[in-house]
Amino acid sequence: MPDCKFHVSRKDFFKGDCPGGRFSAFFEDDGDTGYFYALDLERADDDQILDAVQVYNVANVVDADRPSELSIIWSADGLKCALLINGYPHASFDFAARRGYCRTNFPNFPDSDVWFKSSHEWSDEGIAWLRGNDPD
């Protein structure tokens, strides 16, 4: 997905499908919060969301009045993605490990029977592939 301009607190939606794969991710700002979602496109339409992580509360964003750039980047194998805002990784999903990471660690546990039951605590391990030093 190419970089997209957006403003925090202005309701917006950005989707980034994995090139040639079954997974997708989207970012949504509902005016109060920003969330990043992991999807499996091969599941029934009403059951595609695998996980969701909070990226921000609008009230806590100090530069919400300025435009930002958003990117959803995919790994070459199509099993990992990351949400970058102004070039900085805020959240990521590892579809093979069934794990989500975010800097807010919220919600603390996924609400899915098909996703790994762990916290969403941030770890640079979730974005190691961005730097070319992913052990997989």
Write the pLDDT tens digit of every residue in 2-33: 688 999 999 999 999 998 889 999 999 999 99
Residue 111 corresponds to which amino acid?
D
In this prediction, residue 54 has a pLDDT band, given cuts at 50, 70 and 90, of very high
Query: What confidence score (pLDDT) does residue 133 get?
Result: 56
pTM of the model: 0.90
62 by Cβ neighbours in 10 Å (0-12 / 13-18 / 19+) ranks as exposed
Quick check: 7 and 68 in contact, CB under 8 A? yes
Asked if residue 48 has pLDDT above 80, the reply is yes
Give dist(CA 37, CA 128) in Å, integer. 20
Average pLDDT value over all residues in the chain: 89
Position 119 scores a pLDDT of 83
**Token pair listed for 70:** 């958003």
pLDDT tens track for 102-135: 999 888 665 566 677 778 899 999 999 998 755 5
Residue 60: what are its φ and ψ, rounded to 5°? -100, 0
Q: What is the pLDDT of residue 45?
A: 84
- Annotated domain spans of the chain: 4-129
